């Protein structure tokens, strides 16, 4: 690897949610030293790590927080379960390939917490940087960690003898690698006849801004965020990356044939068994049914992956094209109101729409989309075709 990766300080400026409700990644703070030390001062944890001595005290934690954890070359997050500090996940790029490491307070083991947390961090690192490969590894006697890495798509790359500071004797470590290509193949993907939709990457930001900045009235719902300037597009991508799929989801819409970006679509958690759909389309791609095609597939993905009972949406009365998309998907008008689509803008009148799950499925004669959720465990088996999961 030529240059060391430096992680943007803004990546963890806000909490990063994960697939498990209540489990989030948060930037570490000096005040976390005592909790960090309490969690790591457990031989059952430390004996599975290379660099952690046993016993481990608050001073060790403070040195770690002030040193490696604060380096721009380490993406290091505290792992929070509800309101409790519960461990750490980190990608260390201070030397060689970026290396994933993690540990969890013992009381929380066996609930899928580290699987969700490491997935969120790996997604953030690959999506926000140009990293080509993340390496990791587990001691041969650490079956839980082996399972975590396998589920993320890591592949074995050999066995080496190494030392753990908490163990007296040498220990064998199974080295594991995750290439960007394998990571990308496992991301949530929605495919239709003409479209391939994937979550945005930071590398998409300039393209998103250029497409959205067309000056005309975009085919957009009132809930679509403003992404017209490059910095707004980067903030939008970052926000999308920090949200927890499948409760919230954001996809770039690209034409299957040319790969050209044509718009965006997604949903967000609206509470009480409900999600809200939003979408927009670049000016040159309107009027040929692409938004309807995207919306039907996204609705199917939203119903399948979130289990929501209803999807809501709203559009401005001056936007009949967007209203048409909603109506063709089976949405029904549920009232008029106002909303404030942008923090900077004023409130605008909107028409509100709702779509019940049962109505959606009884109308769904347009054929199944191919939807891959990135994990075999989230989505119930349904009418969707899913490419095989990684082992
Ligand atoms: C390894 C560790 C991070 C796992 O955290 P966790 O939140 O319990 O992990 P998850 O629940 O997300 O996943 C654990 C997986 O291992 C499996 N597993 C757990 N114990 C196992 C065992 N003894 N044999 C086989 N599989 C096991 C679980 O079934 C689960 O897989 P599944 O989801 O396919 O069922 C945690 O045990 C820990 O902090 N250990 C000490 C530090 C450490 O080992 N860090 C990693 C160093 S490489």
Distance 171 CA to ligand 1 centre (A): 18
Domain ranges of the chain: 9-184, 187-372
Q: Higher-confidence residue: 359 or 380?
A: 359
Q: Is residue 175 over pLDDT 70?
A: yes
Is residue 114 lining ligand 1, measured as CB closer than 6 Å?
Answer: yes
Structure confidence at residue 383 as a pLDDT band (50, 70, 90)? very low
**pLDDT, mean of residues 145-161:** 98
Distance 143 CA to ligand 1 centre (A): 7
Q: Which atom of ligand 1 has the smallest separation from the CA of 117?
A: 12
pLDDT in tens, 70-123: 999 999 999 999 999 999 999 999 998 999 999 999 999 999 999 999 999 999
Distance 103 CA to ligand 1 centre (A): 10
The domain at 9-184 falls in which architecture? 3-Layer(aba) Sandwich (3.40)
SS (H, E, C) the chain: CCCCCCCCHHHHCCCEECCCCCEEEEECCHHHHHHHHHHHCCHHHHCCCCCCCCCCCHHHHHHHHHCHHHCCCEEEEEEEECCEEEEEEEEECCCCCCEEEEEECHHHCCCCHHHHHHHHHHHHHHHHCCCCEEEEEEECCCHHHHHHHHHHCCEEEEEEEECCCCCCCCEEEEEEEEEHHHHHHCCCEEECCCEEEECCCHHHHHHHHHHHCCCCCCEECCCCCCCCCHHHHHHHHHHHHHCCCCCCEEEEEEECCCCCEEEEEEEEECCCCEEEEEEEECHHHCCCCHHHHHHHHHHHHHHHHHCCCEEEEEECCCCHHHHHHHHHCCCEEEEEEEECCCCCCCCEEEEEEEEEHHHHHHHCCCCCCEEECCCCCCCCCCCCECCCCCC
**pLDDT, mean of residues 331-360:** 86
Alpha carbon nearest to ligand 1 atom 41, residue: 45
Q: 99, 117, 144, 171: which to mutate for ligand 1, most atoms within 8 A of CB?
A: 144
pLDDT in tens, 203-258: 999 999 999 887 666 677 777 777 888 999 999 999 999 999 999 999 999 999 99
pLDDT in tens, 245-271: 999 999 999 999 999 999 999 999 999
Distance 27 CA to ligand 1 centre (A): 23
- Angle, alpha carbons 110-306-183 (nearest 5°): 65
Give the CATH fold of the 187-372 domain. Aminopeptidase (3.40.630)
**pLDDT, mean of residues 38-57:** 97
Q: Is residue 380 over pLDDT 70?
A: no
Q: Is residue 386 over pLDDT 60?
A: no
- Which pLDDT belongs to residue 374? 72
- Report whether 194 contacts 281 (CB < 8 A): no
- Residue 197, strand partner residues: 190, 253
- Which pLDDT belongs to residue 170? 95
Domains 9-184 and 187-372 share a fold: yes
- Which pLDDT belongs to residue 217? 62
Is residue 222 lining ligand 1, measured as CB closer than 6 Å?
Answer: no
């Amino acid at each position: 690897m030529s240059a060391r990766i430096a992680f943007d300080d803004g990546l963890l400026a806000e909490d990063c949610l994960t697939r498990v409700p209540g489990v989030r990644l948060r930037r570490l703070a000096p005040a976390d030293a005592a909790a960090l030390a309490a969690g790591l001062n457990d031989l059952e944890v430390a004996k599975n790590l290379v660099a952690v001595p046993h016993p481990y005290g608050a001073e060790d934690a403070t040195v770690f927080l002030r040193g490696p954890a604060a380096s721009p070359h380490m993406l290091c997050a505290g792992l929070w379960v509800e309101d409790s500090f519960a461990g750490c996940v980190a990608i260390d790029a201070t030397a060689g390939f970026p290396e994933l490491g993690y540990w969890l307070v013992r009381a929380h083991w066996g609930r899928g917490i580290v699987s969700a947390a490491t997935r969120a961090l790996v997604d953030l690192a690959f999506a926000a940087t140009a990293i080509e490969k993340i390496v990791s590894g587990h001691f041969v006697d650490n079956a839980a960690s082996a399972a975590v890495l396998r589920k993320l798509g890591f592949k074995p790359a050999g066995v080496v003898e190494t030392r753990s500071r908490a163990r007296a004797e040498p220990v064998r470590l199974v080295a594991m690698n995750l290439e960007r290509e394998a990571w990308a193949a496992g991301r949530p993907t929605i495919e239709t006849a003409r479209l391939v939709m994937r979550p945005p990457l930071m590398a998409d930001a300039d393209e998103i801004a250029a497409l959205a900045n067309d000056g005309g009235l975009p085919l957009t719902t009132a809930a679509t965020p403003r992404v017209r300037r490059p910095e707004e597009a980067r903030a939008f991508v970052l926000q999308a990356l920090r949200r927890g799929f499948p409760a919230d989801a954001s996809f770039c819409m690209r034409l299957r044939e040319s790969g050209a970006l044509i718009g965006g679509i997604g949903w967000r958690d609206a509470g009480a068994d409900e999600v809200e759909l939003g979408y927009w389309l670049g000016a040159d791609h309107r009027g040929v049914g692409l938004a309807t095609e995207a919306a039907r597939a996204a609705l199917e993905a939203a119903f399948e992956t979130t289990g929501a009972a209803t999807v809501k949406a709203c559009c401005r009365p001056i936007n009949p094209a967007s209203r048409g998309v909603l109506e063709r998907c089976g949405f029904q008008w549920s009232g008029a109101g106002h909303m404030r689509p942008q923090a900077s803008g004023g409130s605008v009148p909107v028409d509100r729409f709702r779509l019940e799950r049962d109505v959606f499925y009884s109308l769904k004669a347009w054929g199944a989309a191919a939807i891959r959720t990135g994990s075999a465990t989230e989505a119930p088996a349904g009418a969707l075709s899913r490419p095989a999961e990684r082992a």
